[in-house]
Amino acid sequence: MVKLSDERAGALAMLFAAGFGFALCNTGFAELENVRGQAWPFVSQIGMGLFFALIGLELLAEFDDGLFKRRLSILVPTLSAFFGVLVPAIVFIVTSFVIGGQELSKGWPIVTATDVSFALMAFSLLAKGLPTNLRAFLLSFAVIDDIFASVALAVGFARWDALIPLFSTVSAIGIALVLSRRQRERVLSILKPTVTWFVLPVFGFFAMQIRFEPALIFAGPAALLIPLIVVRPITKWLGVYFGAKVGQHWVPQSSRLAISDVDLLRVSSLAGIGFTVSLLAADLAFGVASELFTAAAALTVVAALVAVALAAIALKVRRVAK
């Protein structure tokens, strides 16, 4: 069982590292870009491979005697993830054509993926006293959501490295299936602290090295991105919650998740937090040297902060109501 108190301490370490990386990037530290260029392939591929392997093992435990003991229950977070990608993508594409920015429509993957690591960090910090099955639901829909968005990038932009979350999660589950429960627990006891205290803080440090230039947001065509990206927290939230409602309705009553509609609504608020896949999508759509990319990166930060604020309110209301 995951101890949220331990995870909360790790989340604080990741938050500090992410803030430090963001601050360094925006204070003109000259060597930072070279360091990031050398370290990022290791962090994003090997480090996050370990993270998704850990998530895969934790989700497998939910199939043993947890939230997904009834196998059809997994359809609920799957549909949440599907609509969580579909709804913001449709809103982005339609809005981009309506406001006359046809070139901007290429950036629709920016608003599709939930960043599992940052969403989990936010949950760990905000979810004190909440049921642990909310964490399992968050992990499941966020991982599947990330896989959907990564497949879209891999197919649409021929970036097969975007499939690392899929390969890592499936590989971990495949390996875990041949291990006994005691062996899996032993692997988790090693992997969990490694990921919590090393992989995620290092990932947060490098992932948040985003140059924040607000002036460019309002300059020229980049200004058209404002309504497209800033609404992301709402469209993701509604898409994930709608998918959960559809899933709860479709599966047999015995397979429905033991989570109330109100709690599904509240935890779905974390879906709007996105960084890594969003920035990769912006790079592939607009080019990293373009003003559109710079504006998209800055707006991604803004949208993530809005999502965290909304989640803080939603989860705080849940604790007060309890």
pLDDT at 250: 92
**2 pLDDT exceeds 50?**
no
pLDDT in tens, 13-51: 999 999 998 888 888 775 777 777 788 878 877 888 888
- The three-state secondary structure class of 113 is coil
Closest CA to 150 of 169, 164, 171: 164
**197 pLDDT exceeds 60?**
yes
Chain Cα centroid distance, residue 48: 12
Lowest mean pLDDT among 144-158, 198-212, 259-273, 308-322: 308-322
Distance, in Å, from the CA atom of 313 to the CA atom of 307, rounded to the nearest integer, reads: 10
Comparing 306 with 168, the larger pLDDT belongs to: 306
pLDDT at 56: 81
Chain Cα centroid distance, residue 219: 29
H or E, element range at 181: helix 181-194
**188 pLDDT exceeds 70?**
yes
**Count of CA atoms in the C-beta half-sphere (13 A) of 73:** 22
158 sits in the region (left: phi over 0; alpha: psi -120 to 50; else beta) called: left
**Residues in Cβ contact with 126 at an 8 Å cutoff, skipping those fewer than 6 apart:** 311, 312, 315, 316
pLDDT in tens, 52-107: 888 888 888 888 778 888 889 999 999 999 999 999 999 988 888 887 667 778 88
Instruction: Say how many C-beta atoms besides its own lie within 10 A of residue 1's C-beta.
Output: 7
Number of domains comprising the chain: 1
pLDDT in tens, 225-255: 777 777 899 999 999 999 999 999 999 998 8
**322 pLDDT exceeds 60?**
no
pLDDT in tens, 120-155: 999 988 877 778 889 999 999 998 888 888 888 887
**Residues in Cβ contact with 152 at an 8 Å cutoff, skipping those fewer than 6 apart:** 85, 109, 112
Residue 290's pLDDT band (boundaries 50, 70, 90)? confident
Domain limits at 220?
A: 4-321
Comparing 171 with 62, the larger pLDDT belongs to: 62
Residue with tokens 């910090």: 125
**Residues in Cβ contact with 238 at an 8 Å cutoff, skipping those fewer than 6 apart:** 87
**318 pLDDT exceeds 70?**
no
CATH number at residue 129: 1.20.1530.10
C-alpha dihedral over 246, 310, 123, 116, to 10 degrees?
70
pLDDT at 319: 52
pLDDT at 30: 59
pLDDT at 245: 95
Residue with tokens 């969003």: 278
pLDDT at 1: 44
